[in-house]
Structure 1
């Protein structure tokens, strides 16, 4: 039976989110591309490029022994010291952590050894190796820079954005495993720090990358067009949209290039933001729809009516797909539907041109199909037809690669990254909608978040007792996760997922406080059965309690104020978890220990140390090992971006509540 399961597995096992590629593929020596990162050197040696340095780091990383054991680490480990940050009052911690988050985020933009505009996912170069620029991660991080530039107009931020745009243009026109600028190449996942595309085995394409970049740069472009600054307006037309393709296709605007890719490719299967599962994903499709909406708006502003109409039509066509993610029986938004791969994509494989990888994959799939048919015939000959049909169901489920629950914090992140200003970010609506609520609603996302909280409350030891006490819980990616930041074993909470939950709650508070200030008397909070049950589960001790189900909660009702304050407090409770398990000095890795106990590195061949467990304290520079709370990549750019956006949304929520008279001015919200 197990053999048949292996026969029917569609393609090789997925590459987990940025896990060490040599660990997964068992590569012995050499880079995953079969040559140096910057292209094969003519003399067989590594070329002197940043990419080559990255590949040298890859080669130095350990490979597991066949029996799963590792050579013991033969050095002393510095014991963990008490972290003074965890004892600070929350407001004081926030005041200290936010500038540090900005410092670490900007340190990962064009760091030493990279090229202008490069946003490295992390400084880690081995165990794990994140010394790359992911299209998605870079866009999410640069969006934070865009928002600060819009608010403050800092010259250094404008320089960063110009360099990011130029770096994006260069990478768009590189030949990748998937193709070139006009035939699918923009779906490539990540690039070396010298702009060269990664050509090793990986889960590709990932179309949310270009979609995320559109959202970031279209937001910038639309703002620049409103400034009245002729130079800035000219920059939009020259570098962003439409560019100057008459001078050569490589001079097409970055936004224009991404829009054409998204508008023609959104129907295709792709890998999710965690780079593990291929299919149709809520995060991806919501990102692409928002990108197309913004692109259409920008095109209209620039008088490009034809493409604007085409982009808007493509965005509208995505709507029916978004409806399919709702599981009414379970009350959750599923993260993925229609599991499957594009046959021509060459997912999980790649060479310098991608051709050999696609052929090899097709041959492998043909062999698997033939063997599966043979296995089926053998089952039928033994009269085990019923057993075979049971097996089919198991195999079909196996296409999810273990993600059978459909629950994932990516649903919440989708709204934060691509759902602002849409009904996905609002729970308020017209009182007339009580009987017929709109399909798109933050209520569905909130219900999903409550389910995630329930799952993770028992998944991680550090969450013991938190839900019962009305507190927030540390969140990971999804319940079935096994990526520990370096290997496949047991997963841990993620800072960005935990902060994402807080940010979403603050977003809802902003919606409610805006509703309370609305001059329209019919604007109320309809307590539909789903919203009523969700809020009751989320806030079981709310006092005064919510009125009856199917009623409408008015801002003047005492329960409305209680609801706003409780959501603010729960959001702060999520932030308090980050404070409790923050790294020394405020450092945020990708993950943190699931039991909340700092510890050293897992043992690895040659005594190599996981990067988050290296001693980077003053004068150490990574020499030696220390017990640390962080796991996986250290100083993850996305973790710091998540902190910044979360605290920005918190500030808006608190100010909104004060202006609505729902909280006292200047008074911090009490943590649960």
Structure 2
């Protein structure tokens, strides 16, 4: 691996010396296989992600959304983004066999816990835990913003529950009780869980910070927080809390089912809109798929292979293939955006929206996890709802046909799904330059990176997709 990385670095350096601008082009990795590019890009992505944690000039434990301070200014700690990023750190801590690295990751996680506790205790304009972002010194952000954003506490809880379970597996219950969950409402995880359990029925702004209502993504991550929170509470003998969280999760299920539109044949992103943008006419939104990824629990509810999820994936892919000219230039895969009516281009809100790296990587992750999901089923059924999705993979069977586990067709279908995931990573590869830096967006016409530079979530999304690959 190190030898390959060294060869790739030498090759890129030689190219840069010969063609000074080539490191910053589009498609410079065209001739490099996906696996080789991953070997090159993965350590760079993690290095760049770590650089934005407790960065110089910020409080320990803070996570920069991006080091960009102007045009746009993302030099803040977003609760949601930080949870995504630090979940990657938990996974690194859990899986590394190098003690030096494990200790370094642990230090970052402890710092994050203390900074998150500070966020929970800091008075803010949301009036509670739904405050979306904080200044990097831990003080409250006092500017106008879409408040509250109730996915943040749920995602932070899920990340810290992940850490708690790792510590319990290591036999370190004392650390869990001291740092994360002691059964009182003031412990960091329980404070978030109590907030979610009591606030999920209320409207809030979504992850794009543009619309106030009931959102599929928000409710999926809240659902996960309740299910996994109940599991942790039971492990720590907090049985009444576990019962309460499970009761709330049970109530969430029919509310999430309401997002299925029988007329549009998609899972719509928002219901009961009260404020914010009013021009999302298609009701298509990639946040639904991010919600499937980030809100997944192992109970079969809204699984990756759910027909409604597959129909929504297919509709999103068709919409963005038509919308962005770069998707018709012969490059692999489809560059995916937020929603078809998007007017934020990374700098201004009155422009044309673009594909996003974190979403394109998110679709890669979805396909890899879908392949795993289907591989555990005894048969794959084609239905009236999912047939468009399977047709996009080259499957021309009629509704109600099925593929039996172990058959050659079944195996070919699983392989096709995994290959589709690779096509999305290949699209990311096509637009990332030779420095390994990843911005927020991809210009819909030129293919060059655009918007906030070194977006930490972009790195976390890519690393997550690679891991599920």
Provide TM-score, normalisation by structure 2.
Answer: 0.90
In the TM superposition, residue 558 of structure 1 has moved relative to its aligned partner by 2.0
Paired residue secondary structure (1:337): strand
Measure, in 2, the Cα distance between the counterparts of 1:592 and 1:295: 37
Alignment partner of 1:130 is 2:8: no
Give the Cα separation in 2 of the matches to 1:422 and 1:507.
15
Equivalent of residue 445 in structure 1, options 304, 309, 323: 309
Corresponding residue for residue 257 of structure 1: 191
**Partner Cα distance (2:24, 2:90) in 1:** 36
- Which aligned pairs between 1:607-626 and structure 2 lie closer than 5 A? none
Q: Does 1:582 align with 2:439?
A: no
Assess if the C-alpha contact under 8 Å between 1:242 and 1:255 holds in 2.
no
Structure 1 residue 551, shift from structure 2 partner? 2.8
* 1:180-195 superposed matches below 5 A: 185-195=128-138
Instruction: For residue 529 of structure 1, report the CA deviation from its aligned partner.
Output: 2.0
Q: Specify the alignment match of 1:238 in structure 2.
A: 178
1:149 to 73, 87, 93: 93
How does 1:126-525 map onto structure 2 within 5 Å?
126-152=70-96, 154-179=102-127, 185-228=128-171, 232-242=172-182, 252-340=186-274, 400-423=277-300, 424-427=302-305, 441=306, 443-464=307-328, 472-488=333-349, 489-515=351-377, 523-525=378-380
| Mapped contact 1:581–1:596 kept (Cα < 8 A) | no
Task: Name the CA distance, whole Å, in 2 between partners of 1:163 and 1:215.
Answer: 17
Out of 526-535 and 143-152, give the one that drifted further.
526-535
Question: Contact 2:184/2:190 (CA < 8 Å) preserved in 1?
Answer: no
Give the SS at the match of 1:150. helix
8 Å contact from structure 1 (residues 485, 591) kept in 2 = yes
What residue is the counterpart of 2:8 in the other structure?
none
1:282 deviation in Å? 0.2
Do 1:214 and 1:259's aligned partners in 2 also have CA atoms closer than 8 Å? yes
Deviations 1:298-330 (A, max 9, x none): 111111111221111111111111010001222
Structure 2 equivalent of residue 607 of structure 1: none
Distance, in Å, in 2 between the alignment partners of 1:209 and 1:305 is 25
Counterpart of 2:390 (choices 527, 535, 539) is: 535
Contact 1:85 1:586 in 2 (8 A): no
8 A Cα contact 1:263 1:292, kept in partner: yes
How far apart, in 2, do the equivalents of 1:464 and 1:309 lie?
51
2:33 corresponds to: 89
**2:439 and 2:455 in contact (8 A); partners too:** yes
Q: CA deviation at 1:243?
A: 6.4
Are 1:425 and 1:507, in contact at CA under 8 Å, matched by a contact in 2? no
* CA deviations over 1:499-527 (Å, ceiling 9, x no partner): 11111011111122333xxxxxxx22222
What is residue 11 of structure 2 aligned with on the other side? Answer: none
User: Is the Cα–Cα contact under 8 Å of residues 381 and 401 in structure 2 kept in the other structure?
Assistant: yes
Q: Distance in 1 between matches of 2:439 and 2:136?
A: 20
The CA deviation string for residues 45-92 of structure 1, in whole angstroms up to 9 with x for no partner, is xxxxxxxxxxxxxxxxxxxxxxxxxxxxxxxxx966664434322221
Matched position secondary structure for 1:416: helix
Question: Structure 2 vs 1, CA of residues 339 and 505 (structure 1 numbering), >3 Å: closer, same or farther?
Answer: same
SS at match of 1:586: coil
The Cα shift of 1:244 comes to: 6.6
CA distance in 1, matches of 2:236, 2:313: 39
Unaligned runs of 5+ in 1: 1-77, 180-184, 246-251, 342-398, 428-440, 516-522, 598-628, 651-672
Provide the aligned length of Structure 1 versus Structure 2.
442
Residues of 1 paired with 2:175 and 2:129: CA distance?
Answer: 22
Q: Which residue of the other structure, out of 559, 569, 573, is the alignment partner of 2:409?
A: 559
Q: Find 2:49's aligned residue among 105, 124, 141.
A: 105
